[in-house]
Each structure stands twice: as structure tokens, then as C-alpha cells.
Amino acid sequence: MNSKVPQSNSQLEPITTPPDAEDVSERGSAVELASPELGHVIQEGRMSRRDLLKNVAALGVVALVGERLADPTVPEITRHVVPMRNLKERVRVVQLSDLHRSWCVSDLFVAQAVDLANAQSPDIVALTGDFVTKSASYAISCAAQLKRLTPKIGTYAIPGNHDYWCDDGLGMPRVAEELAGIGIPMLVNKAFRLDSGLWFVGLDDIWAGAPKPQMIPLLPKGEPVLAITHNPSVYLYMTHYECTVLAGHTHGGQINVPYFTRKHFGKMPYLRGWYKGEAPHARLYVSRGLGTVHIPVRINSRPEIGVFDFVPA
């Protein structure tokens, strides 16, 4: 059940120019896998198109029944109230993840997601990666829709593995360029502080990039921290940091039925929803995302737009 969002008299003043992000790339080395076993866990969720199609064919009867088949074109708005110590005023963040603009994810779908996000009156829109799937050419039309986002403070992005892998591994600069052209920066291992006292941190993707979560404990002690990243597996290195992390990547399983989900996602450390870390107030939220990969089908994993109200504790 979604939490009811409380009304607040505290409003953020609009900022005409986005705050400068602090380059924290030198505050810690990139994540290295702690062991071969952990590396296996992190890579476990990778699935080829051939494997997916083979398994989906076996699920034909389930899909035809339709009762539990999630409509991949109708996002669900999930609402969350998150108390934060030393936060001065409420900050509303809307998360859009895994748009996967491609042959099976249309401009109309992305436009619908943008309209729904704007309707939530966000202070910040967080874009947590995988803007495209295989071709960076789709970043042009994706950016044209994302340009219509109207947060009070700004829209900030981090890359996903598909953004790196598209166009045979050469597409990431084009994706970043298209976003920069509409005023959306990629916060790759960078951070900035809001007037509310909230530190907003962007971490690189753990599969295709070089995330540096070690920079988080180097931020001012006691101040609230919100980090965004694509793949939630990086949280294995962050459970002892007092911060909130928003991630995506998993699509919530995309196709959730017995055997299939266990086979392809059973060893993924985080799949969807909230997870509690080891440190006080340490938590991770994994979005089900919006788009699909390989085929436009979701079963028991409706696309999601997350609305997070971070409020003073």
C-alpha cells in the first residue's frame, strides 16, 4: 500500500539555474569487486535476448490468460514519505528509470511518463539510467520529451549499462550530449547541496562504469544524503553508509512468474522496493522502471513512477 503524502506548508523557492555539481571523482577509487563470488552475484541478472525469447515462449499460456499480465503502457504512481535527520524542509523527488527508448518503447510512452511526472509537482526529477537500449539514435527523441520536464529545482541523470553498451559501446557520449543539450547534466560521481541541506549524489553504473560510493562518507557528517545510481548491486558496498539510495535496472523482474524469475533474478541482491541497510537510516529503493527490453511485455511488474517526499525527521 502506498503511503499517503502529507501536505506541507514548506515550499522550495524556484532556482533559475541548477546548482553547480561538485566533482568528487577524486574522493575515492572506483568500486572493485570484493571477490569472484560477489562478481558472479552482480552479473547474474544479465540475460541474452535469445534466452529471454525462449523463456517467454514457454510462458505463452500464462500471458494469454491475461489476469496477471501488467499493462506495460500504464505506469503506476508509487508514493513514499521518507524522514531525514537535519533536513530543513520537504523535498519532493520524482524518479523516472529505465525508459529504454527503442523500437518497443515509443515516444508516446515517454511523453506519458513526462506528463505524469510533471503532474506530481516535483522539486527534482531523478533519471536513473537506461535511456536507450541498443541505439543511441533514440536519445534524440527521448531528450525531446524529457525537455518538457518542469521541476522547481532541476532534472539530474546518471547513466545505465545500456547507455554505455549501445552502438557497440560507443553510444554513451551521444546519450550524454543529447541530455546536456536540454540542460540535464549527468552526475557521474558528482554531488551538490540543496538549500534544504540535502546532498544530492550521482553514482556511475557498476556494470559498465566506475561508481565511487566511497565519496559519500567524505561529505559533511550529519547532513542528509540522497544518492541516485542505476544498478542497485552497488548498494552491497553502501549498506553501512547513512544515506538513501534510489536505483532501477531490474525492471522489478519484468516477467515475474515461478521458475523464470528465480532462474534469471534469483541471485540478484535487490529486485524491487525498499531494502534496509546496516547503518541507521540507511535504505535503498529499487524502482520497477518504465520501459522494457527485448519484448514489450511485463508480467506482475507494472511500470512505475516513484514520488518521494523527503521530510524533516
DSSP one-letter string for 209-264: S---GGGGGGSPTTS-EEEE-S-GGGGGGTTTSS-EEEE-SSGGGSB--TTHHHHH
The verdict on residue 14 lying in a domain is: no
Q: Which of 17-21, 101-105, 124-128, 289-293 has the lowest mean pLDDT?
A: 17-21
Of 34 and 110, more confident: 110
The verdict on residue 10 lying in a domain is: no
Of 64 and 182, more confident: 182
The verdict on residue 163 lying in a domain is: yes
CA distances in angstroms from 214 to 78, 182, 197, 231, listed in the order given: 30, 30, 20, 16
Q: What is the CATH number of the domain that holds 264?
A: 3.60.21
As for how many domains the chain has, the answer is 1
- Domain holding 110, by residue range, is 22-312
The verdict on residue 4 lying in a domain is: no
The verdict on residue 8 lying in a domain is: no
pTM of the model: 0.81
β 69-70/304-312 pair status:
unpaired
Of 25 and 174, more confident: 174
Looking at residues 86-100, what average pLDDT do you find?
A: 98
The verdict on residue 5 lying in a domain is: no
Q: What is the pLDDT of residue 268?
A: 74
